[in-house]
Amino acid sequence: MMGRAEQSFLKGVIEGFYGRPWSQSQRLEMLERMQQLGLNTYLYCPKDDLKHRALWRDEYTADELQRLRELIEACGDRGVDFFYGIAPGLTIRYSDPDETERLRARIQQLTGAGCRSFAILFDDIPDEMAEADRAAFGSLAKAQCETANSLYSEHLAKQDGRLIFCPTPYCQRMADDGHGGAGYLEEVGQRLANGIDIFWTGPEIISREITTEGIGVLRQKLQRKPVLWDNLHANDYDMTRIFLGPYSGRPIELRDEVGGILLNPNCEFEANFVALKTLAAFLAATGSWDSRGAYESALAKWLPRFSTVGGDGVSLDDLMLLGDAYYLPHENGELAEQLYDDVRAIVGESPGDWGEREDRLRERIRQVVELARKLTELRQRELFYALNRQVWELREELELIEQFMDWKKAGGDTAANPFRSGNYLPGTYRGGLVRRLQQLISFGADGILIPANE
């Protein structure tokens, strides 16, 4: 049996988002891509597979199990470890031995299909316990650890299997807030069997940066290296956005402090080319890590997938603008920042002060309008469906801004001749309940809430 020091470094992909799970053909394509990139781990735990979470007690049907068996075999053929994740935390009764038996039955079913590695996930659940569970265990950490230890020692350790545990407080902010109870992480570190790995997302659920210092402190609590469940490119919390930027905000030295790095990416399968490509480059890099250079290289590799049925296909400059506009959760790319600065200046200044900004912005607007058209002609239709909504929204906003520019240049007077746009119809464009709520409550750059009446 492998000891902890001998266990392989996990590097790969988590299908662990909220939303429509990927199709079987997309998963198989992902595995091909992972093999090419040298990634070795795929964790299957889509939140909306009912039997992963809501119906975790139910075993898979023969047809469902066959699809999972196909994935497991495809992973094996490509040198990728298949991990199956189960999330019983919302409804499990820890003190009921029948619940543990149901977990064992699921593991045995998947083991029979060829799976050897698992994850038990206690994330995104209340940190409350039933009275019977509290009487039996005293703490949530103990209840969860004894459940995981039982599965590991009785089934997985004997078969060289591997188990990853996701704690209820899985980022530093949650731990600081006392989620899971006082001393939760320290107790997990003490009670969880030495062979079991532990997931961690960093200082936040979506962490802009993850430092070696922060992980070093965590290692002392967990008494092992954590495995990063990295949500840098996840977008299931804001489906109006996609993230096409590079893997960044993590120093090269971090690789020595963790037991693996697994990326939980965009829900849209086709939007993840750059994320995976740059993650693989980060894992293989020596010396310093140039995330922007890796991003530009990945875009060039991605470009052939943007071939169109028309004569004028998507250019690398088009793709760079698209990627910069939908870069990462905490930042825009260089071209998007320039575009934003130009719009901010033009909206606030008189036309005589616009200078070169006007021509540059108008050129970018034309480029986005043309890009929206080109995407409609993509041969890769799933790629079009993944990107179309965001690009169309950007186009609509920029065309509205250009109309405003024309109005200002024509001597627009707010009092005598207020600006109106035929494209903006109250209650339709930019309409709906969510938009109205956002107008009532917004947040400043520092994250502090700003009520609409202030």
Residue linked to tokens 């033009």: 346
Q: Which of 48, 124, 236, 290 is catalytic?
A: 124
What local confidence, expressed as pLDDT, does residue 13 receive?
Answer: 98
pLDDT digit string, tens, across residues 338-368: 999 999 999 999 999 999 999 999 999 999 9
What local confidence, expressed as pLDDT, does residue 423 receive?
Answer: 74
pLDDT digit string, tens, across residues 126-165: 989 999 999 999 999 999 999 999 999 887 877 888 999 9
Low-confidence ranges of the chain (pLDDT < 50): 1-6
pLDDT digit string, tens, across residues 367-394: 999 999 999 999 999 999 999 999 999 9
Dig out the tokens for 276 from the structure.
């995976």
Query: Is 48 part of the annotated catalytic residue set?
Result: no
CA–CA separation, 107 and 84 (whole Å): 9
What local confidence, expressed as pLDDT, does residue 160 receive?
Answer: 81
Q: Which residues contact 179 (CB under 8 A, 6 or more apart)?
A: 127, 168, 169
What local confidence, expressed as pLDDT, does residue 7 receive?
Answer: 66
Dig out the tokens for 90 from the structure.
């919302």
What local confidence, expressed as pLDDT, does residue 5 receive?
Answer: 41
Instruction: Give all domains of the chain, ordered by start, each with its CATH number.
Output: 4-289 (3.20.20.80), 316-423 (1.20.58.240), 430-454 (no CATH)
Burial class of residue 88, CB neighbours in 10 A (0-12, 13-18, 19+): buried
CA–CA separation, 426 and 437 (whole Å): 15
CA–CA separation, 77 and 64 (whole Å): 20
> What does residue 51 show for φ and ψ, rounded to 5 degrees?
-85, -5
CA–CA separation, 247 and 292 (whole Å): 9
What local confidence, expressed as pLDDT, does residue 4 receive?
Answer: 43
